[in-house]
Amino acid sequence: MIAFENVTKSFGPLVAVDGVSFAVPKGEAFALLGPNGAGKTTLVRMLLGFSRSTAGRIFIEGQPAGRSESRRKLGYLAEIHRIPPYLSGWEYLMRQAAFCGLAGVQARAAVSEMLKRVGMEGQEKKRASHYSKGMVQRIGLGAALLGDPALLVLDEPVSGLDPLGMRDVRVLLEEYKRRGGTILLNSHLLSEVERLCGSVAIMNKGRIMVQGPLAHIVQASETLEEVFIRHVEGGKANDA
């Protein structure tokens, strides 16, 4: 489980995140939504330990975010994933396996299996400079899943993928969730959010405007897009 407790982040006079609190239970997929500049990326950076909060606390399975113990529990895929162009997909994943504490036969077996799972078997010897954006994204997802992390933090995971690739990623994430993994998804693709996530939070100007189970937030007469627009364009902060 992950928990944000009254988290605030300021950059001088600018308050990027303003008293955000929510929790994601183990095994749940949770979506963080909001327009550009809402504070989502800042919140994720604090969760990953790349930045420290000005106030409040963040926990990953009981461990404060940013510590080595909590970092080992998560996998992360950025929206624009980058692989050094001189590395092959195999070399890149082997390096990631080492970061997960895998070595030798165990590492090679884990990487081989992951290449199959992300649809990159047969492409692993090519240099990253010859990969399409979608291929880079597949390798990035494989790297995030190596070591079977307790938490996956995903920033637009289907970016650059064609419909077939989007379906494959969806299947992988559903499988991960069934095994008890927890997902924090940052995405603008509301259709993907509705397929995968049980709960959402909509942020705007650093604050949570609405949060709760997706089924409670989206009523029969509304769509997630309508809820999103209503709360971003002028709705008051509210807990579902």
pLDDT for 239 beyond 80: no
Q: Which CATH class is domain 1-73+150-240?
A: alpha beta
**Which of 49-63, 82-96, 223-237 bottoms out in mean pLDDT, i.e. has the lowest?**
223-237
Report the length, in residues, of the chain. 240
SS3 content of the chain, % helix, strand, coil (to 5): 40, 25, 35
pLDDT value at residue 156: 83
pLDDT value at residue 221: 62
pLDDT value at residue 240: 46
pLDDT band, residue 4 (cuts 50/70/90): very high
pLDDT top residue among 158 and 202? 202
Rg of the chain (C-alpha set): 18
- Residues of the chain with pLDDT > 90, as a percent, come to 60
Q: How far apart are CA 16 and CA 32, in angstroms?
A: 15
- Residues of the chain with pLDDT > 70, as a percent, come to 96
pLDDT value at residue 36: 86
**Which of 75-79, 162-166, 215-219, 221-225 bottoms out in mean pLDDT, i.e. has the lowest?**
221-225
pTM value is 0.88
For CATH 3.40.50.300, list the domain ranges present in the chain.
1-73+150-240
The per-residue pLDDT for range 98-140, each reduced to its tens digit, is 988 899 999 999 999 999 999 999 999 999 999 998 899 899 9
pLDDT value at residue 203: 93
The per-residue pLDDT for range 32-65, each reduced to its tens digit, is 999 988 999 899 999 999 999 999 999 998 889 9
The per-residue pLDDT of the chain, averaged, comes to: 90
What's 43's DSSP letter? H
pLDDT value at residue 234: 67
Burial category of 179 from C-beta neighbours within 10 Å (exposed 0-12, middle 13-18, buried 19 and up): exposed
Average pLDDT for 148-161 = 87
On the CB side of 74, how many CA atoms lie within 13 Å of its CA? 29
The per-residue pLDDT for range 170-204, each reduced to its tens digit, is 888 998 999 899 999 988 888 889 889 999 999 99
pLDDT band, residue 10 (cuts 50/70/90): very high
